[in-house]
Structure formats: structure tokens, C-alpha cells
Amino acid sequence: MRVTLKYMQELARDERASLGVGDHEALDPYALCEEHGVRVYTVESLQSFGASSEAILHFTSLSTATWSAALVPIGSARIIIENETHAPVRRRSSIAHELGHLLLEHEFNGALLGEDHKRQFDPTKEKQATYLSGELLVPEAAARRAAYNGWDNQRVAQAFNVSTQFAQMQMKGPRVMAARAAKKYATARVGG
């Protein structure tokens, strides 16, 4: 299947609707995980499954910036492991990104980490998951409306429970559209 922007927008709209969340409301990615039967574990919680204290310390204290979340296959099931040391808004976007991989049915291509201990990833799949996470958390329709209403990044971030950086990412294109429309309207008023 060829994944298009239109397909991802429709998929996000359907997923939001399945939770009863409209385009202009904040989505809870943890509720969407529950809807799909995906359990979410923190790094620290892995200790109860036998993870070493050293590994947990590495990801929760020594190297917190290197890893946010991962979708992990366990047989036919999927779980998400998240880094609980990150801010809640970052955790939400990380969960939405991992859900993007799940919802787009991205296949696992072997190891998560390479010989250099760096995460292995397919750039195309990562872009798709990033785009879908954006549509899940701040849909384009909502971003356009916010842009036309002059919302700044902070207001968008508060309304959708995302970081200001995430809001900025989602607002970039809609703000360009709103600015062009305002310019066209101003030109038409002067000329008319």
C-alpha cells in the first residue's frame, strides 16, 4: 500500500473519531494505545521484568536524551516502552509517534539497535510516523483554524497538550497559508 498524506489525514481523523475526539480537541495518545490493546511501560517498570539496574540507570539518569520511546514486537502483540524522565508533552508526542508506526503497519526489519548501539531506522517510515503523530495530536484542520485566528505556539501547545516546539512544527504550513490569505485579502480591499 502506498502511504499518502491524504491517507494519513483520514487515518488520524478516524482514530480521533473512534475516541470521540473532534479536530479541535486534544487527543490522549495513551487512550488510543488502550483502544488498540497496546500496553505502555516506562523504563523503570522494566525492572519488574528482569531489566538490570544498570540499564535502567543508563536510560533514566545517564543518557536520558538518547531515547524517547520504542514500539516493541512481542509475538503478534506490540508494546511501547517510554522514557519517563522526559516532560509529559514530549512523552505524549513520543507515544503518538510510536502509534504512527503501529497504525501504518510498519514492519519490523530486524534489530532495533545496530552494532554501534545506535537505533536503526528507515527514514521514510520515520517521516510517515512523524506526520501521522502530528495529525493525531494537532490535525491540519485545527492548525489552519488556529493560524487564521492568530494563535501563537504557546496557545496551540496549551490547547492540544503538546510542546511549543511540536505546536510550531504543526503550525508552520498553516501559518504560511493564513499569511498569504491575509495578504490577498488586504490587496483586494485596497484595489476594490
pLDDT tens string, the chain, 192 residues long: the values are: 789 999 999 999 999 999 999 999 999 999 999 999 999 999 888 878 777 788 777 777 766 677 789 899 998 999 999 999 899 999 999 999 999 999 999 987 654 544 544 556 789 999 999 999 999 999 999 999 999 999 999 999 999 999 999 999 999 999 999 999 988 888 877 765
Give the pLDDT score at 119. Answer: 56
Report the predicted TM-score, pTM, of the whole model to 2 decimal places. Answer: 0.87
d(CA 108, CA 13) in angstroms, rounded, equals 25
Which of 1.10.3720.10, 1.10.10.2910, 3.40.50.1820, 3.40.30.10 is the CATH number of 5-137?
Answer: 1.10.10.2910
Find where cell 508506526 sits.
101
Residues 6+ apart with CB under 8 A from 113: 119, 120
Give the pLDDT score at 120. Answer: 62
Give the pLDDT score at 138. Answer: 98
CATH 1.10.10.2910 in the chain is located at 5-137
